[in-house]
Amino acid sequence: MIKVTTPATSANLGPGFDCMGMAFCLYNTLQVEEIAQGVKIDNWGDQTIPQDESNLIYVTIKNFYERIGKKLPGLHFVQDDHIPMIRGLGSSAACIVSGLLAANALSGAEMTRDELLQIAAEIEGHPDNAVPAFLGGIAVGAMQNEKLYFAKLNVARLCELKFCVMVPAFTLATERARQVLPEKYTRVDAIFNISRAALLTAALTNGDFDLMKAAFDDKIHQPYRGKLIPCMESIFKEALSHGALGVFLSGAGPTLVAVTLSETRFSLPTGWTQVYLKPDMRGARVEFC
């Protein structure tokens, strides 16, 4: 039996659209064993998941076996998922990362973490969830000529930062949240985001909380996605007026994150819950049971 534990992730961190992300101590676990044939999926979590061949972990494992030219065995999974689905907390990336790590261990392919990350980024189309899901912490990834370049940041004073994760009752599919983005941006907006993404990287690595106050802003995706998340702006204002260093949409949303220095409770609209999550520093891990 192989057990894979994979963290939730928050992509973009404001200005780092499609390239920056961080991992949280909130996990999906997957136990996998080979069986004679077919697929059997047990769900130990309280969310509904596909329990047939459309299951994303199964699709990923099948994809991996096709890549290495091996016959896919029968598979039995036990999934215990705690990452809320379709909420911008990297549940799809967690399935892809779990599937790749499980397939690598089951097949004996012995691919390196870098090779697996490359495949994860290819499947996802952007690396901002997969990189922190694999590495933990706050990380950045960039694709160039189909090759993934990535790094985990050495964040100073990370243990002083608190991450208030605010989750609404409604879901928002990434595909829908990408449809509302423009095809082209002005030079002014491009410069706005490039400068803030660079500033955010400097602020995090230097542990400069004053810089962070300017660095989490974005003009590439949040202003457009705000139309799909009616309370986004008022929740941002609420958190900033109570001392948050920064606020951002988690991935494609609808979850929002406030970065604070104390575990402040914010006043949120009906249906929203808030929880302070610690950063996960280890990333996804595999155990042989």
CA atoms within 13 A on the CB side of 233: 7
Minimum distance from residue 252 beta carbon to ligand HSE (Å): 4
Can you read off the two tokens belonging to residue 204?
């995090």
Please report how close the Cβ of residue 125 comes to ligand HSE at its closest, in angstroms: 8
Q: Which is nearer to ligand HSE, 39 or 177 (CB)?
A: 177
Ramachandran area for residue 123 (φ above 0: left; ψ -120 to 50: alpha; else beta): alpha
Helix (H) or strand (E) holding 223: helix 222-225
Tokens standing for residue 179: 């449809």
Q: How far is CA 278 from CA 24, 89, 137, 138, 215, in A?
A: 6, 14, 10, 12, 21
Closer residue to ligand HSE, CB minimum distance, 141 or 279:
141
Supply the minimum distance, in Å, between the C-beta of residue 11 and ligand HSE: 4
Q: Of 81 and 128, which CB lies nearer to ligand HSE in the complex structure?
A: 128
Backbone angles phi, psi at 78, to 5 degrees: -125, 120
For residue 60, the minimal CB distance to ligand HSE (Å) is 15
Q: Are 177 and 227 in contact (CB under 8 A)?
A: no
Smaller CB separation from ligand HSE, 31 or 174: 174
Least distance to ligand HSE, CB of residue 158, Å: 22
Which of 24, 27, 19 is closest to 9 using CA atoms? 24
Strands 2-11, 20-35: pairing kind? antiparallel
Q: Exposed, middle or buried by CB within 10 Å (0-12, 13-18, 19+), for 150?
A: buried
Q: Which of 15, 54, 32, 2 is nearest to 216 (CA)?
A: 15
Minimum distance between the CB of residue 120 and ligand HSE, rounded to whole angstroms?
A: 12
The CA angle 154-160-166, to the nearest 5 degrees, is 100
Shortest distance, CB of residue 269 to ligand HSE, whole angstroms? 22
Which token pair is 219?
Answer: 């003009």
Closer CB to ligand HSE, 64 or 248, in the complex:
248
Interface with ligand HSE (CB under 6 A): 11-12, 17-18, 126, 128-129, 174, 177-178, 221, 251-252
Residue closer to ligand HSE, measured from CB, 2 or 229: 229
Residue 20 C-beta: closest distance to ligand HSE, Å: 9
State which residue, 15 or 32, has the beta carbon closest to ligand HSE.
Answer: 15
Which residue number, 27 or 248, has a Cβ lying nearer to ligand HSE? 248
